Amino acid sequence: MRILSGIQPSGESHMGNFFGAMRQHVELQERGQGIYFLADYHSMTSVRDAEERRHLVIELALDYLACGLDPARSVLYRQSDLPETTELAWLLTTVTPMGLLLRAHSYKDKVDQGIQPDHGLFAYPVLMAADILQYNSDLVPVGQDQKQHLEMTRDIAVKFNQAYEREVFQLPEPHILKAVAVVPGTDGRKMSKSYGNLLRMFWPEKKLRKAIMAIVTDSTPVEEPKDTDQTLFQLWSLFADPDEQAEMSARAAAGGLGYGDVKKDLYERVLSYFGPYRERRSELAKRPDDVEDILRAGAGRARELAMPVFEAARSAAGVGPLG
C-alpha cells in the first residue's frame, strides 16, 4: 500500500503540527510504503523569499527525521526535485473545470481574508492532484479540512481518464487523520504561525521555558479552585495520561494549585517527551550534507515510483515521441 502526504515548508513546525499530523505521518510508516514530500512548490503561494524557502525546507526535513521518519522505510524528498510533477499538473489542468476550482473552500477562505489571489493560489488543487496521482497512491492522510482537496483530486482523475478513454489514474482513498482537539497557542487561540503564539518543540530550553511561562491564564488566586478548561491545562493534558489528568482536575477543584507550578511541570514534561527528538535533531543538524543526500536519494526513488504514471499520462495525452 502506498501512503502519500505532503508537508508545506511555510514556517517553523510547532506542537500543533506535531500532534495534528506529524506524529501520525510517522506512525503510518508501519502500514505501507510511505511517500512524503516537502512541498516547496506549494509554498510559493505564500513565501516569496528564495533563501527563506530553502532554509525552511531543510528545517522541516530535520524536524521530520528527528521525529522518527525513517528514510530507509519511507521516501522523503523535496517537491521541486521532481519537476515532472509540474508537467503532470499541466496535463491535469487542461481537463480541470473552472467551476471545480471556484468551489475550493481554501481559495474562497483566503480571498475572504483579503489575500490578493493569483493563479498559483487558484490552481493549487491541480498541483496537489498531480502530487497524489503520480504515484497511484492508495491512501492519502489528510485533515478533515483538506478532505475537499482529495475529492477534487478524484474528480480531476476521472476527467482525465474519461477525456482520453484510458484508466491512467486510480482514485485515491482519504485517510482522515484521527481527530485531535485543536492545540491551543500560548494566547488561547489555535496555535498558528500567523498568530505568533507558537510552542516549538525544538526551541532552545531557555526560549521554550519563557514561552511556556508566558501562557495566558486567568487571575484566580492560588487558594481558589481553578477552571481546567483553560489553555494551560489543555496543553498540559497532551503530555499526561488519564490518571494524571484526573488527579490534576481534583487538585484544581480543591484549590491551592498555582498556575506557575503547572507551567513548570508542563515545561518538564515537554522536555522529557521531546528529549529524544531534540537530541536526534541536534545531531542531524551537524550533518547538513547528509540531509541533502537523503532528499536527493528520496527524489530518485520517487521518480522511479512515479515514472510509469508519467509515461502513461503522456502517452494517453499524445505528448512527446511515440513509444
Catalytic residue from among 110, 147, 159, 264: 110
- The pLDDT confidence band at residue 38, using thresholds 50, 70 and 90, is very high
Share of the chain above pLDDT 70, in %: 97
207 is an active site residue: no
Could you tell me whether strands 75-78 and 173-176 are parallel, antiparallel, or unpaired per DSSP bridges? unpaired
pLDDT in tens, 39-50: 999 999 989 999
263 is an active site residue: no
Q: What is the mean pLDDT of residues 76-88?
A: 97
190 is an active site residue: yes
The ranges assigned to domains in the chain are: 2-182+287-317, 201-283
Structure-block grid coordinates of residue 94: 487542461
H-helix or E-strand spanning residue 56: helix 50-66
Asked whether residue 53 carries a pLDDT value surpassing 70, the answer given is yes
For residue 145, what pLDDT is reported?
67
Q: What is the mean pLDDT of residues 58-62?
A: 97
- The pLDDT confidence band at residue 162, using thresholds 50, 70 and 90, is very high
Please name the residues in contact with 36: beta carbons below 8 A apart, sequence gap of 6 or more: 4, 5, 6, 7, 25, 64, 69, 74, 75, 76, 77
67 by DSSP, 3-state: which? coil
Separation of alpha carbons 52 and 31, rounded Å: 34
Phi and psi (nearest 5°) for 239?
Answer: -115, 15
Asked whether residue 323 carries a pLDDT value surpassing 70, the answer given is no
- The pLDDT confidence band at residue 179, using thresholds 50, 70 and 90, is low
Catalytic residue from among 108, 178, 190, 210: 190
Give how far Cα 218 sits from Cα of 187, 215, 228, Å: 11, 10, 11
Asked whether residue 137 carries a pLDDT value surpassing 90, the answer given is no
Share of the chain above pLDDT 90, in %: 78
Instruction: Return the CATH fold of 201-283.
Output: Tyrosyl-Transfer RNA Synthetase (1.10.240)
Asked whether residue 26 carries a pLDDT value surpassing 80, the answer given is yes
- The pLDDT confidence band at residue 131, using thresholds 50, 70 and 90, is very high
∠ CA 224-230-235, rounded to 5°:
120
For residue 220, what pLDDT is reported?
95
Instruction: Return the CATH fold of 2-182+287-317.
Output: Rossmann fold (3.40.50)
- The pLDDT confidence band at residue 149, using thresholds 50, 70 and 90, is confident
Mean pLDDT for all residues in the chain: 93
For residue 141, what pLDDT is reported?
78
Q: What is the mean pLDDT of residues 294-323?
A: 94
Asked whether residue 167 carries a pLDDT value surpassing 70, the answer given is yes
pLDDT in tens, 240-282: 999 999 999 999 999 999 999 999 999 999 999 999 999 999 9
pLDDT in tens, 190-237: 998 888 999 999 999 999 999 999 999 999 999 999 999 999 999 999
Asked whether residue 175 carries a pLDDT value surpassing 90, the answer given is no
Do 177 and 20 touch, CB atoms closer than 8 A?
yes
Asked whether residue 97 carries a pLDDT value surpassing 90, the answer given is yes
